[in-house]
A = this chain, B = another copy of it.
Amino acid sequence: MSYELYYWDGIQGRGEFVRLALEDAGADYVDVTREPGRGTGEMLKMMESGAEAHIPFAPPFLRDGDQIVSHVANILSYLGPRLGLAAKDEALRWFANGLQLTITDFIAEVHDTHHPIATSKYYEDQKAEAKDRAFEFVANRMPKFLGYFERVLDQNPEGGGHAVGNAATYVDLSLFQVIEGLRYAFPKAMRHYEPQYPELLKLHTAVKVRPNVAAYLASPRRLAFNENGIFRRYPELDVEP
C-alpha cells in the first residue's frame, strides 16, 4: 500500500522535507493534492472532519493505512526506519529528532522573514516589518543555525560527512533542502556565509548526487521555488550581512 502525503499543491514548502525522504528511498507514495481526480478538497475534508479521531492541525501529514502522522519531524521520525533513512542505534534516533526539530524552528524563522506580523495577510501588507525581521535573520539567526549544523557535522565522532552516525539519514536530506532554500531566498547572504560552512556544503553536494535525489530533482515532481512557498526570493529581504 502506498504512503499518502497530504500537502498544499504548487509549493515545495514543508512538504518537501518529506518528499525528499520518500524519493531518496524510492518509496511508493502518492502526493495526494497533485493527483488527478483528487486535490486539496480531500485534504481539507480530513482536517475539518467532525468525526475523525486523529485530525491534523495543518499539512503536511502522512497517511499510512489507518495511521495518520502530522508535522514534518514526526513524519520523518515515523518514516525514517521504514525507509532505511534512520540510524540503527536508538540513542542516535533521539539525536536525529532533535536535529530535525532545530531545522523545523529554522524553517519557521525563514517563513517569518516575509510574514513577521500576520500569516493571514499578504507580504505586501507587512513589507517594512519584513525588512527588519530579515535583517535580524540574516545578521544573527542564519549564522547561528548554520554554525550549529556545521559544528554537528564537524563533531560527529563517526565523521564521514553525515549529521547522524556513519550513514545518510533524513536529517542529511533536510539539511540539503535548507541550503537549497537559503541559496534561493538569500543569495547575497549565502555568498557571504558559505565559506564558513565547508562541511555543510560538502553534505549538500553529496546529497544532490545521490541517484534517486538527482533523478527527483530533474523530474517534474520537483516543483520550482516560488513566492508562495517558505523560501521566497524578495531581493529587498536579501540584505547584506
A residues contacting B by CB (< 8 A) are 49-58, 61, 66-71, 73-74, 77-78, 91, 94-95, 97-98, 101-102, 104-105, 108, 112, 116-121, 129, 132-133, 136, 140-141, 145, 148, 151-152, 155-157
User: CB distance B116 to A101 under 8 Å?
Assistant: no
User: CB distance A117 to B136 under 8 Å?
Assistant: yes
Chain B residues lying within 8 Å of A97, measured Cβ to Cβ, are 71, 74, 77
User: CB distance B53 to A69 under 8 Å?
Assistant: no
Chain B residues lying within 8 Å of A55, measured Cβ to Cβ, are 148, 151-152, 155
Measured CB to CB, the closest approach of chain B to A236, in angstroms, equals 16
Chain B residues lying within 8 Å of A95, measured Cβ to Cβ, are 54, 68
Chain B residues lying within 8 Å of A58, measured Cβ to Cβ, are 102
User: CB distance B98 to A70 under 8 Å?
Assistant: yes
User: CB distance A101 to B71 under 8 Å?
Assistant: yes
Chain B residues lying within 8 Å of A78, measured Cβ to Cβ, are 94
Pick the residue among B74, B132, B133 that contacts A94 (CB under 8 A): B74
Chain B residues lying within 8 Å of A133, measured Cβ to Cβ, are 116-118
Q: How far is the CA of A94 from the CA of B120 in the complex (A)?
A: 29
Q: How far is the CA of A54 from the CA of B98 in the complex (A)?
A: 9
With A68-B95, A71-B98, A91-B67 as contacts: A53 and B116 at CB distance below 8 Å: no
Chain B residues lying within 8 Å of A121, measured Cβ to Cβ, are 136
User: CB distance B120 to A140 under 8 Å?
Assistant: yes
* Closest chain B residue, CB of each to CB of A131: B117
Sorted from nearest, which 9 A-B pairs have the closest CB atoms? A118-B136, A71-B101, A70-B98, A57-B102, A54-B95, A117-B132, A74-B97, A69-B94, A53-B157
